[in-house]
Structure 1
Amino acid sequence: MTILGLCNKDDVVFSVPNMVEPVRTIENYLNRLQATFLNLEHYHDVKIYYASRELPVFYYFLDQRLANFKMYIFARNIWKLPKFIDQKYSPDCFSEHLYQRMHCIWQKYASLNSYEYWNSNILDNTLQQILFYSECGELDSLNANSILDGMENVLQQIRIMAVNCSKKDLSDNFYLFENKILHTSNHVLVKSKEKNIIYITFDNPNFIYTDNQNFIEYSENWYSTIREISYALGAGSGHNTLSFFNYLVSKIDMVRKRISYNGNTHPPLGNK
């Protein structure tokens, strides 16, 4: 849906797909992501600028355990799909075919050039979700630890990508930065020779988007500011990279300990 009737220079028109076609199944959401990438195939010299306060959704698709859990969270709490409303978490709720679709979407994303700005809190939302459902009995400890294993696996893969500056086939297409100062909402600026678009998560993982040129220019200036105050994580930044990923792993370890306490007083999650 596109919101119309705006006339001021500082008004921006956004398209809101979920208002017209609410997500009815997980496949609906994956279809929407896939359609976005199919559209990008018509553009040349595509570059993605991604600023996020949590792990971008595509990286969940690197591990089936983590991907299934995040789809469960979205289906139960955001899309409110009837199948999941009163359903305890179980990986049996998700087919192998569904994960293969998610992984194919990852492959599409991995083929594109991206400049990504993360912070050390990118896992906090998912870790809190694991804790919540574990403590209320909707997620057993075996599955909780399996999901945490999946998170560690994803981090290990991302660390290698960052060091190699590549998401796929050593293609020199991944530039990861740590943004320690400005913690932002999740938005993605897609630039190409033909068209520029910015996507903003709204009711995450749902999104809205616009190609308003004034807003694009405003966003480009904002990304320039973020770049100036961010630290590269990758080739030539060994200490920063090691520190960043080790800290994220320590957060996962802390959640493992909290789950193992089985209802005792829990220490709070630390902040960097």
Structure 2
Amino acid sequence: MQEQLFRKIKQLIPEHKNLMDEISGILDINYDAAYRRVNGMSKLSLNEAVILAKHYRLSLNKLFEVGEQNSILTQVSPHIATIEDLESYFKVSLSNIQELVKLKSASITYSAKDIPLFYTLKDSYITKYKCYVWLKFLNENGSMAKLTFTEFLDRCPSSLFKAAHELGSTYDYINITEFWNDNTINGSLQQILYYFETGRLDEKHALLICKDLHDIIDHVEKQCISQAIDNNDSTASYQLYTSDLLTMSNTIMVQTKNERVFFTPFTVLTYLKVEHKPTCDRLANFFEQQMKSSKLLVHSGEKDRAQFFERMRIKINRVAALITAQKEEPLF
């Protein structure tokens, strides 16, 4: 495999450049160490192979045909531990999505175990709250442990929320297919109730976040009926399937005319990126089969569609009632 990699790199570099000089510079090793690796006298580490593959934009899966051995290589998204990390994550993701928007053939398929990320990245309290919750999980130095949501709002730079909003808005221009079920909303509701009951989230903000969640459901229902993204500047399509047979996974498949790639959750906001074609094709086939065993809500009848969204609204109202100790009158 090592020999194959260096053979391919040699084909890519200009003839006037020395291969050993190239390798030593990229890997930050001396000429002799580069010589030993190129000639198979020393083994190339996996980390070194990844560095070289990234530099020359090579796919190690394709180069080594790892899939033939039922093993594939993946990439993990950058680690997030601070507010600065999260803002950088939003900005890098925005750059990647903007490239997709340029391709009219691009589409996203989302297995929504939780409310899809882009719905919660708007100019809203739920955006700020999601950032708070993510950082509570990801922060490693303990600075977020006792921080309340109100304190977080006072300390957090507006640039973080601006970056989140810009990323969320960009998804309006991509064709999207989603799989939801009755449990898709549960995670967000549990987070609201948990931090309210632990005193980290006050009643006022808890209810504002519930209202934002209610607005998201209204927004998704509108898109479901029109089969289009709810943005006057967009021509992107939207389809929503309800799947009762399978548990959702938050796996995201991105497809263009020429390729597929998917992202599967690793930790909070951390995804494993898979580009291996046979594996991506297998997931695409799986989603096609899931569509056959699911309901496309726009075709399931007005009653079924209305009941699906009403069940979620009822759940939101129940959480709001627990927060206000009211159990009769719907708040929204």
Q: Could you tell me the TM-score, scaled by structure 1's length?
A: 0.86
Task: Find out whether 1:248 has 2:308 as its counterpart.
Answer: no
Q: SS state of the match for residue 242, structure 2?
A: strand
Instruction: Give matches, 1:75-224, under 5 Å.
Output: 75-80=135-140, 83-90=143-150, 91-167=153-229, 168-169=231-232, 171-224=235-288
Q: Of 69, 85, 98, which aligns to 1:9?
A: 69
Deviation track 1:78-125 (CA, whole Å, cap 9, x = no partner) reads 244755332101243445443332222122111000111111111111
| Alpha-carbon distance in 2 for matches of 1:81, 1:237 | 51
Q: Given the superposition, is the C-alpha separation of residues 52 and 255 from structure 1 closer, same or farther in structure 2, using an over 3 Å criterion?
A: same
Mark the structure with the bigger radius of gyration: 2
Greater RCO structure (CA 8 Å; 6+ sep): 1
CA distance in 1 between counterparts of 2:169 and 2:247 reads 28
Given the superposition, is the C-alpha separation of residues 119 and 63 from structure 1 closer, same or farther in structure 2, using an over 3 Å criterion?
A: farther
> Which residue is equivalent to 2:14?
none
Q: Does 1:28 align with 2:88?
A: yes
Judging changes above 3 Å, is the alpha-carbon distance between structure 1 residues 247 and 94 closer, same or farther for their aligned structure 2 residues?
farther
- Which consecutive residues of structure 2, in runs of 5 or more, have no partner in the other structure? 1-46, 52-59, 328-332
The reply on whether 1:238 has 2:298 as its aligned counterpart is: no
1:94–1:178 distance in 2 versus 1, CA, 3 Å: farther
Q: Could you state the TM-score of these two structures normalised by the residue count of structure 2? A: 0.71
What is the CA–CA distance in structure 1 between the aligned matches of 2:138 and 2:243, rounded to whole Å? 27
Contact 2:254 2:262 in 1 (8 A): yes
Equivalent in the alignment of 1:61: 121
Q: Percent identity?
A: 20
Q: Is the 8 A contact 1:64 1:99 kept in 2?
A: no
Contact 2:196/2:206 (CA < 8 Å) preserved in 1?
yes
Would the aligned equivalents of 1:162 and 1:235 in 2 still touch at CA under 8 Å?
A: no
Which range moved further: 170-179 or 135-144? 170-179
- The AA in structure 2 aligned to 1:177 is Y
Q: Distance in 2 between matches of 1:38 and 1:156?
A: 26
Report if aligned partners of 1:49, 1:188 keep a CA contact under 8 Å in 2.
yes
CA distance in 1, matches of 2:100, 2:291: 24
Q: What residue ranges of structure 1 are gaps of 5+ in the alignment? A: 267-272
Per residue, is there more helix in 1 or in 2? 2
